[in-house]
Amino acid sequence: MSTPAITCETTPEPKRPGASRVGLIVPSSNTTMETELPELFRRQAEATGHKYTFHSARAGMKKVTKEELLAMVGKAAQCAEAVSDADVDVIAYACLVAVMAQGPEAHEGSEQVIADAAAGNGHPAPVTSSAGALVRTLQEIGAQKVAMITPYMKPLTQMVVDYIEGSGITVLDAISLEVADNLEVGCLDPQNLPALARSLKREGADAVVLSACVQMPSLAAVQAVEDELGLPVITAATATTYEILKALGHTPAITGAGSLLSGAGILTPANA
């Protein structure tokens, strides 16, 4: 008896109505972006009926040092080609500090490199980056002064501060948890974030950046901190989600992740 021939796919499965493909470029040691974003989009799908799938490419990075971050940046185009093979509808470059370590407004160049690589591979798609998304989202909600928490060593946190301030936003305070190993960053307990947020110098702040890092878990704490502090609470992950939805032309309808993604309008600070 002959064995039936196995047919292998040589092209992506045709896109289906009511579904979108999200491409992610992540550090090889990242464990959080591919858990928080699918959970956020699960809530979006629950509210709207639209479905989302995720398709990732990984770039080598273990230690959160400037050298490893710059090496990762050099792999962005190759990763973009790989993820675009899935004919994704949008691409998110999910490593905030790797971009910010290159200097002010580096997200613009990084996003263009990725867009060009995807287009050159025959699958053009809109591109966002966690670095660009955080800056643009803060600008969009009118945040002129912020306080933030990062897992980085202090020199890298200062780079993030400089980058954000280079976009015209004042950083009133920044807490550095000083965790260099990226896997360890992914194991940080988000339930510690409310106490850290309380300790920030927030007088005059327009928003709190609860996690200026896509690898530091924060989703479980976003709504609680926003409710307690009465300030808009943004994270690298929620800002990236916001821009992915915008790129797809979808209105946010996500519960329990802060006013940014609720679709009900951004929370107005009590001191505004």
Q: Which residues are catalytic?
A: 95, 213
The reply to whether 30 sits in an annotated binding site is: yes
8 A C-beta contact, residue 64 and residue 32: no
Placement of tokens 């909600």 in the chain: 141
Cβ-based neighbour number of residue 244 at 10 Å: 26
The reply to whether 208 sits in an annotated binding site is: no
The reply to whether 152 sits in an annotated binding site is: yes
Strand order in the sheet with 90-93: 51-59, 19-27, 90-93, 127-129
8 A C-beta contact, residue 257 and residue 238: yes
Q: What are phi and psi of 22, to 5 degrees?
A: -110, 120
Tell me the C-alpha distance between 88 and 221, whole Å.
Answer: 30
- Degrees to nearest 5, angle at CA 61 with 39 and 169: 65
The reply to whether 96 sits in an annotated binding site is: yes
Bridge partner list, 91: 23, 127
Tell me the binding residues for substrate.
30, 95-97, 152, 182, 214-215
Annotated binding-site ranges? 30, 95-97, 152, 182, 214-215
